[in-house]
A = this chain, B = another copy of it.
Amino acid sequence: MAAAIEIADAEGLEAVSIRRVATALGVRPMSLYTHIERKEDLFDLMADEVNRELIIEGELPSHWREAITMIARREHEVILRHSWVIDLVARHPRVGPNGLRHGEQNLCALSGLDVDLATAARIVTAVDHYMTGYVIRERLLRDQRADHLAEPYIQQMINEGDFPHLRRAMREGVPQQESFEEGLRWLLDGIERSLGRS
């Protein structure tokens, strides 16, 4: 599992093949099947190992917003480091021991709040959705290094077509940079407001 994670971190998920992992372990491919039943099991293990890193040791901040923010930041940082987990959990749900612990901690962060469990769960998942989308995009920007929109054929399309806003954005050199914190703040502001109102 550690070997597989190392490969995935370095070269992406599709580089993780049974033969590749076996080679890294100095063993023949079929030997792996004494410990796992299918390759998916290996993926499950890898995902749960990342979930372990998501768990925050020690006390959570007592204020729900700080606690959720802290968890979201941790998720952002860890998942960006192992960005292949996104593809794993997007394929189908992988609920391991550490996944449960992480879920528990999420609900725990909201326990000071006077809302029912269903609402707490929806808050958690909403933040999770934002985080997920953000990490996916950040990975894209990172992996392609340069600004994709600067590619010649795209510039040409923008210049020749009817794209006033895009053309202006291109001329002004609007950075694609975004901020995890800003979007998170927006979302939490909205949640906070709906709490105050209800």
Contacts and interface: CB of A to CB of B under 8 A. Distances in A.
Interface of A: 86-87, 89-90, 92-93, 95, 97, 100-101, 103-104, 107-108, 111, 117-118, 121-122, 125-126, 128-134, 136-137, 139-140, 143-144, 148-149, 154, 157-158, 161-166, 168-169, 172, 174-176, 178-179, 182-183, 185-191, 193-194
B166 A100 contact: yes
A164 B103 CA distance: 11
Q: Assembly of this chain: how many copies?
A: 2
A165 B117 contact: yes
Nearest to A128: B133
Nearest to A109: B165
A60 B7 CA distance: 47
A99 to B, nearest CB: 9
Contacts of A97: 157, 161
Contact of A166 (B107, B188, B189): B107
